[in-house]
Structure 1
């Protein structure tokens, strides 16, 4: 299948982190499942998938559909502790991310991160994965008032990069992140991981591709045009 053409050569590329660069969504799902089992909560796996791409506040709201606020916070705290252990053991990279970052660095294209993960965890995860030095700016979940799907985190990342949002390419795995990037006025490319785009998401008209290797191929073709 031929790849779609990019409409411009971006001045900056802004990356989501979890599920796009790091294979962390599966680790988080394992942590949620283990935490639920430890606390005696019987929760359908589809409930966890609803949380993908969202910040803590939204995740708590989803949990509170099935339990009290106190129970939801206890479950989240246990999940976070289990996830920390997975993170310290090292989270694998998603296919193509290192090659893409190296390619962008060689061509002087600025890179940023827009992640719902909070500080200090977000920079620590990038550092542990060996990716921190590739980024000129990081915007995290506690740097903004409104999390994804609001555009705030992408607008902040663009501001910190010193690049107009319309000149940024945003890379996301989740529909929530895509909505945020589109609302910020960026050209969004989705590389789905755990949550496949449904008909509603596809109707947004953004680019959907299989891997970050495809992103590099799209950029190479645009530069050669």
Structure 2
């Protein structure tokens, strides 16, 4: 099997921003005099803003101020990133360098909206390392729908059997499976459950391990 393209998730996969947002969401919710159970927050990992808001209102009531809370959380996260920089995951730069050497195409497919995604990628100095970016506000249905990965295939101009998806979330792995693209999971906040383990091609501990795995393909 020859790999010609890689589809990267962003938060939790390339950067340790998923956990940061997770923790800040719990804090901000308390500021609004609500409690955010982790089992509800877990359901929003890997989905876009619109889907997350629907999940919050489903479990916490239609009057839950999800939009306001998410805006405040985003401001706090942005302030943190501005002061501390973007926490890059182990092996990201090495993996990007390897893909450049092998002339393997790479795109970002993130549930984050474009304004947010571009801000993080630019701050991390990797924005120009990718051939394209597909964001959560540019597709009809959020992960676990395959929409974002099917769009990524179009951008890469490759077939599903020439591409691998790198994901940290269960929703992302399910979306890749529905797009009929092989996936590698590098778990972040939540480990793979038994159902997810049936869907992905391999599991790695870090992006460094992905390099070794790709070498066995090509």
Contact 2:184 2:200 in 1 (8 A): no
Q: CA deviation at 1:47?
A: 2.5
What are the residue-to-residue correspondences of 1:177-188 with 2, within 5 Å? 177-188=172-183
What are the residue-to-residue correspondences of 1:1-225 with 2, within 5 Å? 8-64=1-57, 65-69=59-63, 71-89=65-83, 90-223=85-218
Give TM-score, length-normalised by structure 1.
Answer: 0.90
State the 4+ residue runs in structure 1 displaced beyond 4 angstroms: none
Q: CA deviation at 1:54?
A: 1.2
Answer with 169-178 or 42-51: which moved more: 42-51
Q: CA deviation at 1:205?
A: 4.8
Taking the aligned partners of 1:162 and 1:48, their CA distance within structure 2 comes to: 35
Unaligned runs of 5+ in 2: none
Unaligned runs of 5+ in 1: 1-7
Report the 3-state secondary structure (helix = DSSP H, G, I; strand = E; otherwise coil) of the residue aligned with 1:170. Answer: strand
> 1:23-57, CA deviations, whole angstroms, 9 ceiling, x for partnerless residues?
10111012202211211112223332221111112
What is the root-mean-square deviation of aligned Cα atoms in Å? Answer: 1.5
Taking the aligned partners of 1:41 and 1:30, their CA distance within structure 2 comes to: 15
Give TM-score, length-normalised by structure 2.
Answer: 0.93
Tell me: CA distance 1:133–1:205, structure 2 relative to 1, closer, same or farther (3 Å).
closer
Q: CA deviation at 1:221?
A: 2.4
Paired residues, what number? Answer: 216
Taking the aligned partners of 2:151 and 2:211, their CA distance within structure 1 comes to: 24
